[in-house]
Amino acid sequence: RFFCEEPVTGDSALLSGAEAHHLLHVMRAKAGDAITLFDGSGAEFDAEVATASRSSVEARVLARREVDRERPRPLVLAVALPKGDRQKVLVEKLTELGVSRLIPLVTERTVAKLSGGALDKLRRGVIEASKQCGRNVLMTIDEPMSFADAIGAAPENANRLVAHPGEAEADAGPDAAELWRLVGPEGGFTDAEVAAAEAAGWSRASLGRAILRTETAAIALAAREP
């Protein structure tokens, strides 16, 4: 599976950059080899390598298929991102678990900083994970968002949960059209943040008695939703 940056609309598609490198120098593809393409639109395409240069590949598109591997309702996670490699693991697992949108959350106790370059790398991680797991729609990653903006960004009719240790499990909200989840940083949410979320209509949710790392809590939240 290879990702096309440009929407695939006609009977040919161009792969360049990391995708062409993967195809040419890792898979050692040659003219006539069968490949599958996706462009993030939800469809996937049967194709074959038409011509290959040193840094790009032109593919001949043979058939388009609508293949829905998305969740029945959008799942949005706003997460105070952990540091270093754990961000990469988080993005890979949330992509595999079908999260629609990841919002890097800036809270009072958030430590990890996210530069533009880091965000690009995380978005590249979404493509890599989508190639592997078969998703045809990319999980989006927002620019970092403040806690106040994040709690206000969710529609009021969404099922909205703040993961916070020690509280009873909240109802998963079977009728809600969207699911929104907040996960705090290493130092946790402050009492004032939890109170602000509750005042805005969010409920607290517990993931058990153990204190989980941020990425484990985010993955656990994503994995338990149907």
CB-CB contact of 38 with 4 (8 Å)? yes
Tell me the closest approach of the beta carbon of residue 14 to ligand SAM, in angstroms. Answer: 42
208 lines the binding site for ligand SAM (CB under 6 A): yes
110 lines the binding site for ligand SAM (CB under 6 A): no
Report the candidate in 106, 108, 104 with the shortest Cα–Cα distance to residue 121: 104
Question: Which residue type occupies 156?
Answer: E
Distance of CA 45 to CAs 14, 34, 113, 126, 185, Å? Answer: 13, 11, 38, 19, 40
**Selected range binding ligand SAM among 98-106, 142-150, 171-179, 207-215, rule: CB under 6 A:** 207-215
Instruction: Note every long-range contact of 66-69, with CB atoms under 8 Å and residues 24 or more positions apart, other chains counting.
Output: 66/42, 67/42, 67/43, 67/134, 67/136, 68/42, 68/136, 69/98, 69/133, 69/134, 69/135, 69/136
Tell me the closest approach of the beta carbon of residue 208 to ligand SAM, in angstroms. Answer: 5
Spatial separation of the C-alpha atoms in residues 96 and 113, rounded to whole Å: 24
Closer to ligand SAM by CB, 24 or 77: give it.
Answer: 77
203 lines the binding site for ligand SAM (CB under 6 A): no
Tell me the closest approach of the beta carbon of residue 165 to ligand SAM, in angstroms. Answer: 4
User: Considering only residues 151-170, where is the footprint of ligand SAM by CB under 6 A?
Assistant: 163-165
Closer to ligand SAM by CB, 179 or 217: give it.
Answer: 217
- Residue of 43, 149, 206, 225 interacting with ligand SAM (CB under 6 A): 206
Give residues in contact with ligand SAM (CB under 6 A). Answer: 163-165, 183-184, 186, 188-189, 206-208, 210-214, 217
